[in-house]
Amino acid sequence: MQLSAFAKPGRFFRGNLHTHSNLSDGVLDPVEVCRRYKAEGYDFISLTDHFVGQYGYPIADTVPFRDDAFTTILGAELHSGRMENGEIWHILAVGLPADFPPPAASSFEPVEAQETGPELAERAREAGAFVAIAHPHWSGLTQEDARSLDAAHAVEAYNHGCATGCDRGEGFHTLDLLLSEGRNLTLVATDDAHFSEPDHFGGWVMVKAEQNDPDALLEALKEGAFYSSQGPELRNVMLDGDRVVVECSAVTSVILQGHGSAAKAIHGESLTRAELPLGRFKDSPWLRVTVIDRAGRRAWSNPFPAAK
């Protein structure tokens, strides 16, 4: 079984799904944010400003910044309701309609009787958005919080801004526990760029589609036809009988993870292919792959079911 990101026709497009401008708490104008990502070789971004009343509930109109080589997907970071730690929810919504009705969230302070985070996520998904649980480590998200957000397509497993700003950039623990509870989820790496610190160009998705078109990219995201990276390339991931075969750019480690403590790693020099036996994964319903290059940069496959 070949993962859809590698079996699906088309080519890979590099994109960032979590970015801010001065329409909320970012530093740069939307046009400059888009210019910089295009200049850095990205094929698309989603500008996801904070969707709260103090900023006028912005969904940035990035349509004018599209051209033959670069496109955008409308989106926002949504807020409403109280998490278990008392703070407001942060929910990434990529592919929102421009007229998405806002919640009663005037600021980043939760208030009684407003829409809950799970309710807001469900409404965003019903409106056509690709929904991700944003920066669970940074948010102090509990597993019960994560469990309640059943409209999510994905977990933000790496957030570069949170990694550089406070060393709370990962969400793999949240993701893996949800997978072991039977949830069908993908993982995304993002920047969460504000351009007020070195929070940009550090994590992205590589989305497989036939065209660099917002609708085609959004459909591929929902299908899970992508992988995430800080630099290395994944070129193939395939479940082949009693092993997983990984092909990639040159790396020093290829790691297969599964339920609980199940893991298998192969280390070497300039590895471009690895075959990982499934002996340790007999009780694991899911698998995922990480590769690490000599500079310590990682790339991650989406989770996929183990053979039965």
24 and 83 in a common domain: yes
pLDDT tens digits for 242-291?
A: 999 999 999 999 999 999 999 999 999 999 999 999 999 999 999 999 99
What is residue 256's three-state secondary structure? strand
> What is the tally of helices (H) and strands (E) in the chain?
8, 17
- When pLDDT is averaged across residues 101-120 and rounded to a whole number, the result is 96
183 and 278 in a common domain: no
pLDDT of residue 246: 98
Strand partners, 292: 253, 298
State how far the Cα of 179 lies from the Cα of 276, in Å rounded to an integer: 20
Flag whether pLDDT at 190 surpasses 80.
Answer: yes
Q: What share of residues in the chain are helix, strand, coil (percent, to 5)?
A: 20, 35, 45
Look at residues 228, 251, 268 and tell me which one is the last residue of a structural domain: 228
Look at residues 198, 228, 258 and tell me which one is the last residue of a structural domain: 228
Flag whether pLDDT at 116 surpasses 80.
Answer: yes
Reported confidence tier of residue 307, pLDDT bands at 50, 70, 90: confident
Reported confidence tier of residue 138, pLDDT bands at 50, 70, 90: very high
pLDDT tens digits for 191-221?
A: 999 999 999 999 999 999 999 999 999 999 9
Look at residues 175, 199, 228 and tell me which one is the last residue of a structural domain: 228
pLDDT tens digits for 150-185?
A: 999 999 999 999 999 999 999 999 999 999 999 999
How do beta strands 204-209 and 226-229 pair? antiparallel
pLDDT of residue 308: 54
- CATH number of the domain bearing residue 144: 3.20.20.140
How many domains does the chain contain in total?
A: 2
191 and 156 in a common domain: yes
pLDDT tens digits for 31-83?
A: 999 999 999 999 999 999 999 999 999 999 999 999 999 999 999 999 999 99
By C-alpha distance, which of 297, 296, 276, 271 is closest to 287? 276
Domain that holds residue 248: 234-305
149 and 261 in a common domain: no
